């Protein structure tokens, strides 16, 4: 009952403003103001306002919205963690688990190192051997091609 009275008062005030605007010969603006002013009384007459106020003032409804918010937050959190980890779907995990048995890649020329061995460092290999011969040969070929 109180909500209907408040909606009627808001609509009446809006229609008064629309009438003043029309008096100033701004008819397009007055029509828009009147359209907006009729919305509250229309909602009150259809019962939407009473339905909304019954939802707003019930604690169980707010608890339900809270549970939905927690559910949405948990879903978003799991998706975020899944993307950061790069976790694949079930089929990709099964395929990866089946292929872990092979220690050598199909096109590899040498087997991969086991857990106890370390790769030789490049610094030791380059200092022990000779200096690289054709470091700039590809650059020289490009320059010759362009006549430089």
pLDDT of residue 84: 83
Mean pLDDT of 118-123: 56
Please tell me whether residue 101 adopts helix, strand or coil conformation. Answer: coil
How far is it, in rounded angstroms, from Cα 54 to Cα 145?
82
Q: To the nearest whole percent, how much of the chain has pLDDT over 70? A: 72
Which range among 40-44, 70-74, 106-110 shows the weakest confidence by mean pLDDT? 106-110
- Provide the greatest CA pair distance for the chain: 98
- Reading phi first (left if > 0) and then psi (alpha if -120 to 50, else beta), residue 27 is in alpha
Residues 143, 119: Cα–Cα separation, whole Å = 37
pLDDT value at residue 85: 80
- Which pLDDT band holds residue 110 (cuts at 50, 70, 90)? low
CA 42 to chain centre: 37
Is the pLDDT confidence value at 105 over 60? no
Instruction: Give me the pLDDT at residue 69, please.
Output: 92
The answer to whether the CB of 7 falls within 8 A of the CB of 43 is yes
Interatomic CA distance for residues 11 and 38, integer angstroms: 6
Left if phi > 0, otherwise alpha if psi is -120 to 50, otherwise beta: which for 89? beta
Distance between CA atoms of residues 146 and 79, nearest Å = 53
pLDDT over 90 (residue 129): no
Backbone angles phi, psi at 62, to 5 degrees: -65, -35
pLDDT at 131: 53
101/19: higher pLDDT: 19
């Amino acid at each position: 009952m109180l909500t209907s009275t408040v909606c009627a008062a808001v609509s009446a005030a809006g229609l008064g403003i629309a009438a003043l605007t029309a008096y100033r010969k701004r008819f397009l603006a007055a029509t828009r103001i009147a359209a907006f002013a009729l919305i509250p009384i229309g909602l009150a007459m259809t019962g939407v306002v009473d339905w909304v106020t019954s939802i707003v003032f019930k604690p169980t409804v707010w608890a339900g919205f809270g549970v939905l918010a927690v559910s949405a937050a948990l879903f978003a959190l799991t998706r975020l963690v899944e993307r950061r980890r790069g976790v694949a779907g079930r089929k990709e995990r099964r395929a990866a688990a089946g292929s872990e048995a092979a220690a050598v890649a199909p096109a590899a020329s040498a087997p991969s190192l086991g857990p106890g061995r370390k790769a030789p460092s490049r610094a030791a290999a380059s200092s022990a051997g000779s200096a690289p011969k054709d470091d700039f040969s590809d650059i020289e070929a490009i320059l010759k091609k362009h006549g430089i």
